[in-house]
């Protein structure tokens, strides 16, 4: 399968009152057509910055460098007008919560408004037909009822599915989800994971999901990257990384899962204000913290097909 999105050596620095913030220090990844790619890491590691860079939201007050190829074109060199067209028609951002629904609009109106703004479908009948088809795809047993319902007339799980139907209604080539389960209670999270599971099988969907919730990437993603302090520390197929985590940080994330006893990662996340060539994880690393000398992160070590780790303690 060909690459839909290819990000190469992406670096972003912000400027704050405390100084320069090294939010991304050079990350590279590919998303193939039909692939769901997850980026997992704790708060402040640079996940939202990746989404913003791909969506073109990094303002002029930040430095951005590297390359972001979408369907072969480098977004960082495209003209504003071309970018706007591309973002409107080809990419969609999945809202974090069902609060994004307008309580005064029916689900049908939500879908039709989005279709009007982001597709070529016109005419009341065509719009309604598309909306009903879509609600059917998202497993609503009575699409006509949902079409004319207001959010307050539906359950939380149904609204969650409606939000997803609205996001996917224009068949965007790439859907970006920034912490899609952050504001969901357990029931809604299950509903999200179930819908994602079905989408994976049913449609040719490409998605970038960034999250601090390992359960999401474990259940939903094909490929994953583990990010720490603006750098990837481990990447690979989700199954390989989850079954054979090699970087101490990835291991600590897996140990923090409820099914593994919820042992949180010891210590604090580093400050993004420093940019040194040592391993940022060293103060929290069971191997590194015993050492007096600084561990310099090596270039990636390949431990299997598509499985890469950035750690001195891992041999290829």
In 150-244, where does DSSP find H-type helix?
156-168, 186-202, 214-220, 238-243
The piece of 43-51, 157-165, 188-196, 242-250 that touches ligand ADP (CB under 6 A) is: 43-51
Nearer to ligand ADP, 16 or 126 (CB): 16
Question: Site residues for ligand SF4, window 27-46 (CB under 6 A)?
Answer: none
Q: Which does 23 bind (CB under 5 to 8 A by kind): ligand ADP, ligand SF4, Mg ion, none?
A: ligand ADP
- Piece of 87-95, 133-141, 169-177, 306-314 that binds ligand SF4 (CB under 6 A): 306-314
Burial pattern 253-292, b for ≥16 Cβ within 10 A else e, equals bbeeeeeeeeeebeeebbebeeeeeebbbbebbeebeeee
- Give me the 243-272 binding string for ligand ADP, x by CB under 6 A, dash otherwise: -----------------------------x
Choose one: 59-67, 124-132, 138-146, 282-290; the region binding ligand SF4 (CB under 6 A).
282-290
Stretch that binds ligand ADP, among 42-50, 158-166, 258-266, 299-307 (CB under 6 A): 42-50
Binding track over 200-239 against ligand SF4, x by CB under 6 A: ----------------------------------------
Asked if 284 and 266 count as a contact pair (C-beta separation under 8 A), the reply is yes
**45 is a contact residue toward ligand ADP (CB under 6 A):** yes
> What are the helix (H) ranges across the chain?
47-55, 80-90, 107-118, 124-137, 143-147, 156-168, 186-202, 214-220, 238-243, 248-255
Whether the CB-CB separation of 282 and 294 falls below 8 Å is answered with yes
Angle 164-165-166 (CA atoms, 0-180°, nearest 5)? Answer: 90
Measure the CA–CA gap between 204 and 186, rounded to whole angstroms.
27
**3-state class percentages of the chain: helix first, strand second, coil last, to nearest 5:** 40, 25, 35
**Span of 39-47, 194-202, 232-240, 247-255 interacting with ligand ADP by CB under 6 A:** 39-47
Q: How many residues bind ligand SF4 (CB under 6 A)?
A: 12
Q: Is 300 in the site for ligand SF4 (CB under 6 A)?
A: no
- Tokens 């190469």 belong to which residue? 8
Q: Is residue 118 helix, strand or coil?
A: helix
Considering the complex, what minimum distance in angstroms separates the CB of residue 265 from ligand ADP?
14
Kindly list the residues in this chain that would bind ligand ADP in the complex (CB under 6 A).
14, 16, 21, 23, 41, 43-49, 272
């Amino acid at each position: 399968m060909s690459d839909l999105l290819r990000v190469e050596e992406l670096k972003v620095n912000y400027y704050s009152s405390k100084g320069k913030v090294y939010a991304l220090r050079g990350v590279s990844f590919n998303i193939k057509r039909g692939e769901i790619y997850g980026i997992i890491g704790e708060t402040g590691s640079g996940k939202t910055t990746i989404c913003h860079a791909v969506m073109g939201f990094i303002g002029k007050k930040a430095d951005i460098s590297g390359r972001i190829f979408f369907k072969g074109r480098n977004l960082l060199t495209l003209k504003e007008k071309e970018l706007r067209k591309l973002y409107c028609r080809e990419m969609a951002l999945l809202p974090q919560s069902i609060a994004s629904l307008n309580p005064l609009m029916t689900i049908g109106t939500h879908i039709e408004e989005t279709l009007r703004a982001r597709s070529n479908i016109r005419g009341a009948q065509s719009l309604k037909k598309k909306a009903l088809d879509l609600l059917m795809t998202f497993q609503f047993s009575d699409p006509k009822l949902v079409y004319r319902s207001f959010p307050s007339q539906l359950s939380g799980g149904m609204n969650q599915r409606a939000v997803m139907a609205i996001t996917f209604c224009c068949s965007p080539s790439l859907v970006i989800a920034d912490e899609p389960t952050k504001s969901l209670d357990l029931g809604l999270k299950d509903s999200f994971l179930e819908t994602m599971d079905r989408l994976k099988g049913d449609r040719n969907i490409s998605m970038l999901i960034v999250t601090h919730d390992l359960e999401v990437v474990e259940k939903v993603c094909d490929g994953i990257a583990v990010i720490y302090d603006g750098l990837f520390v481990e990447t690979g197929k989700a199954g390989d990384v989850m079954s054979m985590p090699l970087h101490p940080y990835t291991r600590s994330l897996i140990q923090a899962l409820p099914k593994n006893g919820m042992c949180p990662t010891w210590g604090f996340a580093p400050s993004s204000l420093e940019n040194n060539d040592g391993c940022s994880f060293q103060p929290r690393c069971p191997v590194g913290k015993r050492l007096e000398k600084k561990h310099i992160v090596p270039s990636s070590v390949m431990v299997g097909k598509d499985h890469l780790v950035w750690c001195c303690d891992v041999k290829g």
